[in-house]
Amino acid sequence: MYQWLDDRLSIGKLYAKAFRKAFPVHHSFFLGEITLFSFITLVLTGIFLTLNYEPSIRPVSGSLSGGQEVPAAYYSILYIDSLPFGAVLRSLHHWAAHIMIAAAFLHMLRIHLTGAYKNPRELNWIVGVFLLVLSIITAFTGYALPFDNYALTATKIGYEIGAAAPWVGKLLSDILFAGELSPTNAQTIPRLFPIHVLWLPLALIGLIGAHLTIMIKQKHTQPKYAEKVAPGKIVGVPLFPQQAAMMGILFLVYIAVTTFIAGAFLAHPVQAFGPPTANTPPVKPDWYFMWIYGILQIIPANWRFEFLGATFGPQFWGGILVPTIIILGALAIPFLDYAKNKQRYLELPSQHPFRTSFVIGMLMFYIMSTLAGYKVDLSLSNGLLWVLVFIVPVITGVVSYIIMKAVYGKDWNQEVEVKLIGKGSAADD
């Protein structure tokens, strides 16, 4: 049997080339894999959802809606929830999306803190930034699909932010949502549905393919200890069988934990929100949009001017300009912090105090602007929030820089000691 397959597919060659790929052993290297597992989970649960979902808002009524006439898209969610484990699978789709974005963010953070984006991996950093942005956009296009009052209101804010882009915003928003987003616009769901289940996932698959191909081609960055253990060599465990076994176990643990979360915390109870009406419930975006939502709350309303027929107002500053600057900044990082020679080894965050404290400052900015999202709930004043959002991150960055210099500064010229306990222990670590 093996011989038969080997004759046709040259498995032996494939084994030697691909299956022996070395994986560095460190738990932070699993963050990318968790992102991938989330994507796989999203595709699988998404298949289940599409098979039961009706992308239309034609009015239907039935026992699930208590005889009330509701949009078909909304009704099909009630139907999915009524299926055996239907609500759990829908919930799993929801939580896997959150975990994917969180894991991708942490994965990026790990790359950033260790300088792994440097020459020759600039390209893969850029692909990674696009992957994160595209994942968030994909998640956003799924918001409106249950077509309940909460989902539609939350999406409506996105529509108006898009429309705030100068000159072309209204046009782009209208193309994405097929006209103004409203409870009675029959074209919106038929447009968002294929974008969410077909075109964006296809784009994601393409980018993930490119991301992994480049990674295999360039090989993983090596942890710092690898330089001591075997300088110039690649240290790690082979993909098959060791890494594959670990990945398999991690995938099972991932599925077990997320399914537990999905079952214990059922996401987005559409029945509680009801079908969309002219009324607006109090909405909050998901955590990965909360910082934009917070910034929108604290920008003064009178910060606006007209220029060549376009309005530049608070929605533009907070909803479009700030995120664009951050995305462009992320894309520029490998070129601002450039290594002339090819980098093989990860850098220790403690030896790069500027970069590390910059990351800590940015995280603080993210946390503080997220806090601003709770302005009304916590009755925080605008002045205080401005200090929290724009001054506190700078102070945090400066203070952590000073602390790092004081604590680690004197050791920079010393070689890092790596203690080896027995032979090959680093590889088994």
Partner 1 sequence: MADHEATAHHHEHHPEDPQAQATRRAILQAAIGVSAGAAVLSTLWVGAGLVPREEKIPSKEPVAAGDILVFATGPKAEQEITLDDLRAAQGEKIPFIIAFPKSPENVVKKDLITNTLMVILADPAKMSPETKQYASPEGVLAYSAVCKHLGCTVSQWQNDTWLCPCHGGKYDIYNQAKVVGGPVPAPVPQLPIKVEGGKVVVAGEFLGKPGADV
Among 178, 215, 246, 261, interactor with partner 1 by CB under 8 A: 178
**Which of 24, 128, 169, 397 touches partner 1 by CB under 8 A?**
169
- Give the C-alpha separation, 254 to 377, whole Å: 34
Q: Which of 6, 54, 122, 160 binds partner 1 (CB under 8 A)?
A: 160
Contacts of partner 1 in 249-278 (CB under 8 A): 277-278
Q: Does 388 bind partner 1 (CB under 8 A)?
A: no
Name the DSSP letter for residue 303: -
Q: Does the footprint of partner 1 cover residue 180 (CB under 8 A)? A: yes
Give the nearest distance from C-beta 262 to partner 1 in angstroms.
Answer: 28
- Our CB check for partner 1 shows the closer of 125 and 293 to be 293
DSSP secondary structure string, 135-151? HHHHHHHHHTTT--HHH
Q: Could you tell me the smallest distance in angstroms from the CB atom of residue 159 to partner 1?
A: 7
Binding flag, residue 56, partner 1 (CB under 8 A): no
Residue indicated by tokens 């893969």:
124
Pure H helices in 220-321? 225-229, 244-264, 270-273, 287-298, 314-315
Interface characters, 352-371, with partner 1 (x: CB under 8 A): --------------------
Cα gap 240→162, rounded to integer Å: 46
**Hey, what are 244's tokens?**
């594959």
Distance CA 380, CA 12 (A): 65
* Helix (H) or strand (E) segment spanning residue 167: none
Site for partner 1 in 212-251 (CB under 8 A): none
* DSSP, res 265: S
Could you tell me how many residues of this chain bind partner 1 (CB under 8 A)? Answer: 43
DSSP reduced 3-state for 237: strand
Residue with tokens 């929100």: 273
Query: Which residue, 34 or 70, has its beta carbon nearer to partner 1?
Result: 70
Rounded Cα–Cα distance for residues 350 and 411 (Å)? 10
- Of 418, 371, 374, give the one whose Cα is nearest residue 392: 371
Tell me if 44 sits within 8 A of 62, measured CB to CB: no
Q: Which is nearer to partner 1, 180 or 227 (CB)?
A: 180
Binding mask 129-158 for partner 1 (x = CB under 8 A): ------------------------x--xx-
Closest CA to 55 of 152, 199, 162, 196: 196
Interface with partner 1, residue 159, by CB under 8 A: yes
164 binds partner 1 (CB under 8 A): yes
| Nearest by Cα to 338 from 50, 187, 115 | 115
For residue 362, the minimal CB distance to partner 1 (Å) is 24
Q: What is the nearest approach in angstroms of partner 1 to the Cβ of residue 196?
A: 16
Residues 279-338 that bind partner 1 (CB under 8 A): 279-283, 293, 296-302, 304, 311, 313-316
CB of 178 to partner 1, least distance (A): 5
Tell me which residues touch partner 1 (CB under 8 A): 153, 156-157, 159-161, 163-164, 169-171, 174-175, 178-180, 182, 184-185, 187, 277-283, 293, 296-302, 304, 311, 313-316, 375-376
